[in-house]
Structure 1
Amino acid sequence: IKMLNPQHKARLERRVVGSTNRWRLPQEPFFGDLLALPQMCQALGIDIEETLKNPERLRIPKIQKIFTENLKDKASQNGEADVTLECLGFKWELHQPQLFQSETLTKLYLAALGRGGSSPRRGKGQERNRVKRMIISLKVNDPAVTRAAFATALKNLYLKDEEMNVEEVLGVLASAHVLQFSRLFKRCVVTMMNGLRPSTIKNFYLAGHRYKEEQLTTACEKWLEMNLVPLMATQIHLRHIPQELLQKVLRSPRLFTFSEFHLLKTLLMWAYLQLNSKIQTIPIHETVLTFFNSFPKKCCFLDRDIGQSFTSNKGKAYSKLRLHSITSGKDLEELRHINFFPESWLIRVTANHYYALESGGDMAHLKDLTTQAVRFGLLFDQQNTTHSKMISIYGFFFEIKGIKHDTTSYSFYMQRIRHTDLDSPSTICEHSAVSLKSQRLVKYEIRAQTLVEGRWQEFSTNQITQKFGFVQPCCKSHVSIPFSLISLGFSFAPSLSHPILGAPGFQSSTGGQLGLRRSQRRLLSPTARQNHLGLETLKPPQSRRPHAA
Structure 2
Amino acid sequence: MKMLNPQKPRLERRIVGSTNRWRFPRQPFSGDLLGLSQMCKAANVDFDEVLKNPDRLSISQIQKLFPENLKNKAIRNGEADVILECLGFKWELHQPQLFQSETLAKLYLMGLARGDTNPAKESVEILRAQQPGRSREQRPAKKMILSLKINDPLVTKTAFATALKNLYVHEVKMCLDDVLGVLAAAHILQFGSLFQRCVTIMMSGLTPSTIKTFYLAGCKYNEESLTTACQKWMEMNLVPLVGTQIHLRKIPKELLHKVLKSPRLFTFSEFHLLKTLLLWVYLQLNSNTQTFPMHETVLMFFSSFPKNCSFLDRDVGQNLIPLFLCLRLHSIIKGKDLEELRHINFFPESWLVRVTANHYHALENGGDMAHAKDLSTQALRFGLLFNQEYTTHSKVITIYGFFFEIKGIKHDTTSYSFHMQRIRHTDLECASVVYENTPISLRAERLVTYEIRAQTLVDGKWQEFRTNQITQKFGLVKPSCKSHALKIQTVGIPIYASFSFIFSLS
**TM-score, normalising length from structure 1?**
0.78
> Percent identity over the alignment?
65
Indicate yes or no: 2:476 matched with 1:516.
Answer: no
Indicate yes or no: 2:75 matched with 1:72.
Answer: no
Read off the aligned partner of 2:502 and give its amino acid letter: R
What is the distance in 2 between the residues matched to 1:172 and 1:106? 19
Aligned-pair CA distance for 1:209: 0.5
Which SS does the other structure have where 2:452 is aligned?
Answer: strand
Aligned-pair CA distance for 1:477: 4.3
CA pair 442-184 structure 1, distance change in 2 beyond 3 A: same
CA pair 302-118 structure 1, distance change in 2 beyond 3 A: same
The aligned counterpart of 1:321 is: 327
Query: Cα deviations across residues 467-512 of structure 1 (Å, max 9, x unaligned)?
Result: 11111216874322224144xxxxxxxxxxxxxxxxxxxxx2xxxx
Which SS does the other structure have where 1:229 is aligned?
Answer: coil
Which SS does the other structure have where 1:80 is aligned?
Answer: coil
The aligned counterpart of 1:395 is: 401
Query: Cα deviations across residues 197-250 of structure 1 (Å, max 9, x unaligned)?
Result: 000000110010110000000000000000000001111000000000000000
The aligned counterpart of 1:223 is: 233
Query: Cα deviations across residues 30-58 of structure 1 (Å, max 9, x unaligned)?
Result: 9xxxxx97xx3xx55x699xx99x99655
The aligned counterpart of 2:275 is: 265
Indicate yes or no: 2:335 matched with 1:336.
Answer: no
The aligned counterpart of 2:292 is: 282
What is the distance in 2 between the residues matched to 1:296 and 1:272? 17
The aligned counterpart of 2:98 is: 99
What is the distance in 2 between the residues matched to 1:110 and 1:214? 31
Indicate yes or no: 2:72 matched with 1:90.
Answer: no
What is the distance in 1 between the residues matched to 2:353 and 2:171? 61
1:211-250 matches, cutoff 5 A: 211-250=221-260
CA contact (8 A) 1:273 1:279 kept: yes
CA pair 47-398 structure 1, distance change in 2 beyond 3 A: closer
Unaligned runs of 5+ in 1: 11-16, 18-23, 31-35, 487-507, 509-513, 527-549
Read off the aligned partner of 2:497 and give its amino acid letter: L
Indicate yes or no: 2:413 matched with 1:407.
Answer: yes
Aligned-pair CA distance for 1:127: 7.8
Decide which of 150, 158, 167 is 1:157's aligned counterpart: 167
What is the distance in 1 between the residues matched to 2:209 and 2:427? 44
Indicate yes or no: 2:355 matched with 1:349.
Answer: yes
RMSD over aligned Cα, in angstroms?
3.1
Aligned-pair CA distance for 1:319: 1.1
Aligned-pair CA distance for 1:460: 3.8
Read off the aligned partner of 1:175 and give its amino acid letter: A
CA pair 81-326 structure 1, distance change in 2 beyond 3 A: same
What is the distance in 1 between the residues matched to 2:54 and 2:234? 49
What is the distance in 2 between the residues matched to 1:229 and 1:435? 31
Greater shift after overlay, 320-329 or 158-167? Answer: 158-167
Aligned-pair CA distance for 1:97: 0.7
CA contact (8 A) 1:29 1:58 kept: no
Greater shift after overlay, 380-389 or 351-360? Answer: 380-389
Decide which of 164, 167, 189 is 2:199's aligned counterpart: 189
Which SS does the other structure have where 1:317 is aligned?
Answer: helix
Query: Cα deviations across residues 18-38 of structure 1 (Å, max 9, x unaligned)?
Result: xxxxxx9844449xxxxx97x
What is the distance in 1 between the residues matched to 2:34 and 2:360? 75
What is the distance in 2 between the residues matched to 1:7 and 1:280? 55
Greater shift after overlay, 68-77 or 105-114? Answer: 68-77
CA contact (8 A) 2:452 2:498 kept: no
The aligned counterpart of 1:112 is: 111
CA contact (8 A) 2:455 2:497 kept: no
CA contact (8 A) 2:70 2:127 kept: no
Aligned-pair CA distance for 1:66: 3.3
Read off the aligned partner of 1:110 and give its amino acid letter: L
Query: Cα deviations across residues 123-160 of structure 1 (Å, max 9, x unaligned)?
Result: xx998487721100000011111101000000001111
Q: Quick one: higher RCO (CA 8 Å, sep 6+), 1 or 2?
A: 1
Query: Cα deviations across residues 360-383 of structure 1 (Å, max 9, x unaligned)?
Result: 100111122211111111233322
Read off the aligned partner of 1:142 and give its amino acid letter: D
Aligned-pair CA distance for 1:387: 1.7
Aligned-pair CA distance for 1:7: 9.1
CA pair 317-143 structure 1, distance change in 2 beyond 3 A: same
CA pair 47-456 structure 1, distance change in 2 beyond 3 A: closer
Which SS does the other structure have where 1:337 is aligned?
Answer: helix
What is the distance in 2 between the residues matched to 1:455 and 1:321? 27
CA pair 401-172 structure 1, distance change in 2 beyond 3 A: same
Unaligned runs of 5+ in 2: 13-18, 20-31, 130-138
1:298-313 matches, cutoff 5 A: 298-311=308-321
Decide which of 470, 477, 501 is 1:471's aligned counterpart: 477
CA pair 5-301 structure 1, distance change in 2 beyond 3 A: closer
The aligned counterpart of 2:489 is: 482
What is the distance in 1 between the residues matched to 2:267 and 2:126? 73
CA contact (8 A) 1:362 1:525 kept: yes
CA contact (8 A) 2:409 2:416 kept: yes
Q: What is the number of residues matched between the two proteins? A: 467
CA pair 296-280 structure 1, distance change in 2 beyond 3 A: same
Query: Cα deviations across residues 426-450 of structure 1 (Å, max 9, x unaligned)?
Result: 3432343111111111111233434
Decide which of 183, 187, 190 is 1:173's aligned counterpart: 183
The aligned counterpart of 1:490 is: none
What is the distance in 2 between the residues matched to 1:126 and 1:370? 65
Greater shift after overlay, 113-122 or 327-336? Answer: 113-122
CA contact (8 A) 1:202 1:242 kept: yes
Query: Cα deviations across residues 83-128 of structure 1 (Å, max 9, x unaligned)?
Result: 0000000000000111111101111111111112877888xx9984
Indicate yes or no: 2:373 matched with 1:367.
Answer: yes
Aligned-pair CA distance for 1:266: 0.2
What is the distance in 2 between the residues matched to 1:350 and 1:127? 82
CA contact (8 A) 1:447 1:460 kept: yes
CA pair 78-417 structure 1, distance change in 2 beyond 3 A: closer
Q: Normalized per residue, which structure has more helix? A: 2
**TM-score, normalising length from structure 2?**
0.85
The aligned counterpart of 2:143 is: 133
Which SS does the other structure have where 1:167 is aligned?
Answer: coil
What is the distance in 1 between the residues matched to 2:227 and 2:309? 38
What is the distance in 1 between the residues matched to 2:183 and 2:126? 41
CA contact (8 A) 1:25 1:111 kept: no
Greater shift after overlay, 428-437 or 389-398? Answer: 428-437
CA contact (8 A) 2:239 2:276 kept: yes
CA pair 173-525 structure 1, distance change in 2 beyond 3 A: same
Which SS does the other structure have where 1:108 is aligned?
Answer: helix
